[in-house]
Amino acid sequence: MAIEFKPIGYVHTEAQVVPRHWSVSQVEGRLVIDPQYQEGLKDIKPGQQIVVLFHFHRSPPFAPANLIQKPPHREARLGVFSTCSPRRPNPLGLSVVEVLAIQGNTITVKGIDMVDGTPILDLKPLVTDYQPDQPALESPA
């Protein structure tokens, strides 16, 4: 089974250095979405937090030696799935950013931990108020 993703847009930031994780970032930048997807941005509002799924496009290829890694800010060596390392079997990243403004197909955000030119694979709302009594979604047939 082959799985293919195509970017829906790209990250743009003037920052030369970005934090290792979105939770400690104050870096601002723009998510420039391909105009063909602009209509899908209509309900994103300033002040909202959104999840950005992206490709670690500068990450070196994964090798079995990368299954255990020592993050620079940790003492211990950890399994790759216990880290946010860009060296992963599938180089996918996830960040939560705050929407500052939206104009056309460009979302200005704060909390960037991605380098300029990072391919964006998807955007999702950050949902923190899920109500367990809501009906479950049915899987498509």
Give a three-class secondary structure readout of the chain: CCCCCCCCEEEECCCCCCCCCHHHCCCEEEEEECHHHHHHHCCCCCCCEEEEEEECCCCCCCCHHHHEECCCCCCCCEEHHHCCCCCCCCCEEEEEEEEEEEECCEEEEECCCCCCCCEEEEEEECCCCCCCCCCCCCCCC
User: What local confidence, expressed as pLDDT, does residue 34 receive?
Assistant: 98
What's the pLDDT at 89?
A: 87
The two tokens of residue 74 are 């940790």
CATH superfamily of 9-61+87-125: YaeB-like (2.40.30.70)
Distance CA 124, CA 51 (A): 5
Those residues of the chain that have pLDDT short of 70 are 131-141
Q: How far is CA 77 from CA 20, 74, 83, in A?
A: 17, 8, 10
pLDDT at 137: 66
